[in-house]
Amino acid sequence: MRSLLMNEILEKTREEIGNKKVIAAVSGGGDSTLAAHIARETGAEVFAVFVDSGLLREGEAERTEKYYREIFRDNFVFVDAGKEFFEALKGVIDPEEKRKRIGKKFVEIFERIAKEKGAEVLVQGTIAPDWIESGGQGRDRIKSHHNVGGMPETFLKVVEPLRDLYKDEVRELLKQEGIGSGLEDKQPFPGPGLAVRVLGEVTEEKIRVVRKANAIVEEVLDRSKKPWQYFAVLLPVKSTGVKGDERVYGVTIVIRAIDSTDGMSGSFSRIPYDLLEEMSSRITREIPECNRVVYDVTNKPPATIEWE
Ligand code: XMP
């Protein structure tokens, strides 16, 4: 049985889509998958579009592509766009500018696919914290979430079925709809991807480093009582270290692990020292460029969860 909430969302989304064809932007996360599912359940013709921005976690593009192909079959579109994104990010240091460039690139790609498919509507998985934190309605802007504040003008009609929901409600609906098994417990991942976890200019090389560090953080913490969200950040700071008998200047990796329920506030996770040590030794051993690992002990607020 569908809940009252789900029926209301379906009805409203059906009205907004009308009889138009739809492009649904999917990222592999719960929000966008639920939004695409809702669009399809209205009876509309929906093309699910997944963009590999080159800014994803280890193995994520392959896993996600496989997952969506099974659900959307011929209506799934995979876009390999790493080159385009690195080009768009060249020389950009300012975090807001990064988010804007990435948002612009995503929209450009969606418009391109929409033209190919004859679609006029873009369905996105925006949820309440995204637009609250992107400012508007008298709030100060904290960050431009790439699917809200950084969203440039588009000829597509944007429909956001989940814009009044919080993460825990999305998880509940996913469960109710019986879709995305495994997705409900997946940790959130920001739309702009690893680009907001590389402070300073984003390059393919730095993404490779942060991706590797992130995979280690996930591997180690997946075996423990998992925090709500946990990841690695690469700082544009070098410090002195010794590797073998040599004095080296290496890069710094931050481990960030947060306990939260909705991402609006949170406290740093009290993870055991032995796990911190395991992550630190693996990161410095397996990533030759890195000789220092620090743990972020800041709550939200005053810090945000992501570093940019
Ligand atoms: P912050 O860093 O604002 O993050 O405390 C709160 C939650 O939102 C995620 N996040 C994003 N999600 N697009 C998204 O879809 C974005 O631009 C974005 N920025 C942050 C973040 O990972 C955390 O779970």
Q: Decide: 160 in ligand 1 pocket, CB within 6 A.
A: no
Q: Which residues of the chain have pLDDT under 50?
A: 138
Residue 27 CA, closest ligand 1 atom number? 15
Span 189-243, pLDDT tens digits: 998 999 999 999 999 999 999 999 999 999 999 999 999 999 999 999 999 999 8
SS3 state at 19 = coil
Q: Decide: 143 in ligand 1 pocket, CB within 6 A.
A: yes
Atom 6 (ligand 1) nearest CA = 263
Span 157-168, pLDDT tens digits: 999 999 999 988
Angle between helices 30-41 and 4-17 (to 10 degrees): 70
Ligand 1 centroid to residue 55 C-alpha, Å: 15
Per DSSP, 194 falls in state G
Q: Decide: 145 in ligand 1 pocket, CB within 6 A.
A: yes
Q: Is 165 exposed, middle or buried (0-12, 13-18, 19+ CB in 10 A)?
A: buried
Full 3-state SS string of 245-299: CEEEEEEEEEEEEEECCCCCCEEECCCCHHHHHHHHHHHHHHCCCEEEEEECCCC
Q: Decide: 167 in ligand 1 pocket, CB within 6 A.
A: no
Mean pLDDT score of the chain: 93
Q: So what's the pLDDT on residue 104?
A: 94
- Cβ atoms of 109 and 16 within 8 Å: the answer is no
Atom 12 (ligand 1) nearest CA = 190
Mutate to test the pocket of ligand 1, among 99, 101, 130, 132 (most ligand atoms within 8 A of CB): 130
Sign of the C-alpha dihedral computed for residues 175, 271, 221 and 134 taken in this order: positive
Ligand 1 centroid to residue 143 C-alpha, Å: 9
